[in-house]
């Protein structure tokens, strides 16, 4: 028995050695073939990665900084491999514009990552493939969003102000003690988009669907924070199946929540009184044109957009609002200038309004400078090429993953002169107004076909929320506390948990 064991383990180990040798030789052969092919195809240059995992282990804790360093060696367009996927990283305004605008049709796909496939069977329009179905789907969502943020009886102003006042009360309740504003801001940002989707609610924090959506969102963010390796190494799903089952669980729960909400809406739906985005999408789903149906759109798919809107609209705004508070405490002089402007235009006796925007250019300029300087959204969602194409003279084959490094624009020396300095006035033109052309160049909402569809909504939320906070509160650093702008990367770049103090104004 013992002999048999020894014999079989000897055979086993020599088999293992042979298999390992063949495996390594195959990998080397594939790598060499790829390198030769790369030369023949004139692919962009880039660093070597490891077999199977590619360059992933070298992304580091701050991927935009890693890519910034690589750009110095390899230029604006860099080849890397992400697990099983060939990928390029595009840096700098000019190269990004060429890809997303000049060659928009070629670069506006999305990679068929596992998570994208799992999100509504790949029908989530934020992750779906580029083509006529996505185009018409996006147009419908864009129209519904526009209608509900521009309606004459627009509930959005009230929703944003009410949320801002809830947060102000929470902050001031701490008195002179310091606190971490993270949970309050996450709740507020989620509540804004949730109420826009499903209707204004007096006690939203007590609504069970909302509470479970927020908790689900937190888990989702934690889960995706480090990226899901199964996305880029699909074979991993057989080794770590929980990575997929956990994700599927979170999606299933979110779909069940949305379906309950939609059923409640359908029960009292009145097409002459559309109350919120859900009603708007139900209406759009009932009135699809023949052309829209012909590309595969149906009411179910249109209504499912609620998940995309909530998902895309909560974390981005929460992260940016947290940076807003952090930066105000870090730069008290800027905070004072903003307060002076708000005090002159709005005063203390009335509420700030969206229509004050034109008279408060420094507030908007500061928001754009925070988006740039703090880079709360450092990358676009992953793009993919839809055909064989070229960029800056290099060949980019169909199906290549394309990482758009927006942070490289925020830090571009030629564009900003002093990108490492926080200076909101850079976004004010010689007439004292917001410099729209510079805002366009900064591109925090990306460019081209897949540019953020919620941009105008996000701008409204950020402006009114931030203005209301600054009108009523002064933020300051607790004594002896240093801010170092450290952050964590996930889908967004978030400021690490921090302490701040809040004093009442007026
Ligand atoms: C601070 C706020 C926000 C920022 C900085 C931001 C930024 C971005 C960026 C950079 C992208 C990727 C574009 C690309 O892949 O090229 C994006 C996509 C998207 N955003 Fe936003 N976003 C914000 C808020 C919102 C809000 C409030 C909504 C709600 C409607 C929203 C909905 C979306 C959707 C649906 C997409 C996918 C678009 C598509 O694939 O066609 N975003 N956003």
330-362 confidence digits (pLDDT tens): 999 999 999 999 999 999 999 999 999 999 999
Question: Measured in angstroms, how far is the CA atom of residue 446 from the centroid of ligand 1?
Answer: 8
Distances (CA, A) of 438 to 101, 236, 409: 17, 44, 12
Of 316, 439, 444, the residue with max ligand 1 atoms within 8 A of its CB, to mutate for a pocket test, comes to 316
Percent of the chain's residues with pLDDT above 70: 89
pLDDT at 283: 96
Q: Whose CA is nearest to atom 17 of ligand 1?
A: 452
Instruction: Name the more confident of 163 and 236.
Output: 163
Helix 305-330 with 242-267: angle, nearest 10 deg:
110
**Nearest to residue 383, comparing CAs of 51, 96, 133, 122?**
96
Q: Is 19's pLDDT higher than 50?
A: no
What digits encode the pLDDT tens for the residues 146-200? 988 876 656 789 999 999 999 999 999 999 999 999 999 999 999 999 999 998 8
Between the CA of 96 and the centroid of ligand 1 the distance, in Å, is 17
Q: Residue 411's closest CA among 427, 424, 425, 422? A: 422
Q: Are strands 401-405 and 383-384 parallel, antiparallel or unpaired?
A: antiparallel
Closest to 277 in 3D by CA, of 313, 253, 251, 250: 313
CATH number of domain containing 74: 1.10.630.10
Residue 81, domain member (yes or no): yes
| Number of folded domains that form the chain | 1
Instruction: Report pLDDT digits (tens) over 446-469.
Output: 999 999 999 999 999 999 999 999
pLDDT digits (tens, 9 = 90+) for 386-403: 999 999 999 999 999 999
Residues 182/321, Cβ–Cβ less than 8 Å = no
Q: Are 159 and 196 in contact (CB under 8 A)?
A: yes
Task: Kindly report the protein residue whose alpha carbon is nearest to atom 1 of ligand 1.
Answer: 317
Asked whether residue 153 is assigned to any structural domain, the reply reads yes
Residue 4 lies in a domain: no
Q: Ligand 1 pocket test: which of 142, 368, 454 has the largest number of ligand atoms within 8 Å of its C-beta?
A: 454
Q: Whose CA is nearest to atom 40 of ligand 1?
A: 126
**Is 11 inside a domain boundary?**
no
**80 and 87 Cβ atoms separated by less than 8 Å:** yes
Model confidence at 440: pLDDT above 50? yes
Please give the C-alpha separations between residue 317 and each of 187, 312, 314, 485, 493, in angstroms, as whole numbers: 11, 9, 6, 18, 11
Domain that holds residue 110: 19-504
- Centre of ligand 1 from the C-alpha of residue 493, in Å: 14
Q: Which residue has the higher pLDDT, 70 or 233?
A: 70
How far, in Å, is the centroid of ligand 1 from the Cα of 25?
A: 44
| In a domain? residue 265 | yes
**C-alpha–C-alpha distance, residues 331 and 313, integer Å:** 27
pLDDT given at position 282:
97
- The per-residue pLDDT for 172 is 98
* Ligand 1 centre distance from Cα of residue 313 (Å): 7
201: number of Cβ within 10 Å: 16
What is the residue whose two structure tokens read 């200076």? 423
Ligand-binding site membership of 452 (annotated): yes
Share of the chain above pLDDT 90, in %: 68
Ligand 1, atom nearest to 319 Cα = 1
Q: Average per-residue pLDDT in the chain? A: 88
14 vs 301, higher pLDDT:
301
Sign of the C-alpha dihedral, residues 298, 299, 301, 305? positive
Residue whose token pair is 């007096």: 202
Pocket, ligand 1, Cβ cutoff 6 A: 126, 138, 145, 308-309, 312-313, 316-317, 320, 371, 377, 380-381, 404, 444-446, 450-454, 457-458
Asked if the structure places residue 283 within a domain, the reply is: yes
Per-residue pLDDT band for 12 (boundaries 50, 70, 90) equals very low
Count Cα neighbours of 194 within 13 Å in the Cβ-side half-sphere: 27
CA distance 337 to 435: 18
CB-based contacts of 9, cutoff 8 Å, min separation 6: none
Residue 25 has pLDDT above 70, yes or no: no
Work out whether strand 401-405 and strand 85-91 pair parallel, antiparallel, or are unpaired: parallel
In this structure, what are the phi and psi dihedrals at residue 382, rounded to the nearest 5 degrees? -60, 130
Give domain status of residue 478, yes or no. yes
**Residue of the CA atom closest to atom 6 of ligand 1:** 445
395/42 Cα distance (integer angstroms): 6
23: in domain: yes
Mean pLDDT of 242-248: 78
Has residue 38 got a pLDDT over 90? no
């Amino acid at each position: 028995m013992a002999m048999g064991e020894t014999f079989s383990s000897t055979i086993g180990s020599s088999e293992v050695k042979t298999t390992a040798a063949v495996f390594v030789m195959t990998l080397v052969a594939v790598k060499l073939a790829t390198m030769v092919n790369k030369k023949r195809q004139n692919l962009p240059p880039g660093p070597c990665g490891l077999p199977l995992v590619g360059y992933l282990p070298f992304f580091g804790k701050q991927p935009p900084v890693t890519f910034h360093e690589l750009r110095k060696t390899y230029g604006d367009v860099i080849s890397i491999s992400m697990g099983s996927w060939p990928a390029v990283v595009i840096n700098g305004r000019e190269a990004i514009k060429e890809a997303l605008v000049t060659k928009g049709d070629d670069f506006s796909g999305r990679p068929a990552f596992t998570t994208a496939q799992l999100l509504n069977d790949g029908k989530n329009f934020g992750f779906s493939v580029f083509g006529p179905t996505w185009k018409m789907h996006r147009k419908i969502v864009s129209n519904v969003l526009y209608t509900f943020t521009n309606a004459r009886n627009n509930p959005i102003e009230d929703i944003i102000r009410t949320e801002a006042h809830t947060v102000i009360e929470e902050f001031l309740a701490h008195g002179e003690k310091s606190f971490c504003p993270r949970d309050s801001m996450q709740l507020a940002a989620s509540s804004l988009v949730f109420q826009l989707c499903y209707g204004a609610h007096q006690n939203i924090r007590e609504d069970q669907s909302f509470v479970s959506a927020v908790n689900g969102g937190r888990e989702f963010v934690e889960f995706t924070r480090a990226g899901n390796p199964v996305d880029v190494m699909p074979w991993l799903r057989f080794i770590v199946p929980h990575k997929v089952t956990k994700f599927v669980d979170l999606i299933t729960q979110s779909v069940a929540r949305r379906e309950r909400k939609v059923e409640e809406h359908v029960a009292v739906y009145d097409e002459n009184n559309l109350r919120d985005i859900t009603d708007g999408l139900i209406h759009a789903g009932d009135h699809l044109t023949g052309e829209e149906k012909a590309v595969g759109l149906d009411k179910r798919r249109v209504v499912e957009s609620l998940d995309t809107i909530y998902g895309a609209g909560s974390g981005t705004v929460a992260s940016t609002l947290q940076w807003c508070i952090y930066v105000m405490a870090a730069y008290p002089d800027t905070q004072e200038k903003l307060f002076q402007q708000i005090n002159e235009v709005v005063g203390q006796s009335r509420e700030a309004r969206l229509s004050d925007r034109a008279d408060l250019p420094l507030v908007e300029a500061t928001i754009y400078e925070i988006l740039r300087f703090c880079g709360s959204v450092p990358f676009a969602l992953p793009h993919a090429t839809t055909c064989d194409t070229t960029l800056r003279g290099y060949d980019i084959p169909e199906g290549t993953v394309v990482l758009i490094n927006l942070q490289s624009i925020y830090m571009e020396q030629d564009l900003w002169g002093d990108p490492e300095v926080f200076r909101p006035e850079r976004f004010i033109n010689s007439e004292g107004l917001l410099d729209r052309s510079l805002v366009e160049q900064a591109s925090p909402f990306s460019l081209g076909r897949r540019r953020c569809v919620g941009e105008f909504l996000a701008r409204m939320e950020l402006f009114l929320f931030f203005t209301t906070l600054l009108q009523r509160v002064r933020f300051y650093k607790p004594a002896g506390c240093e801010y170092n702008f450290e952050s964590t990367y996930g889908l967004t770049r978030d400021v690490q948990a921090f302490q701040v103090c809040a004093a009442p104004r007026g």
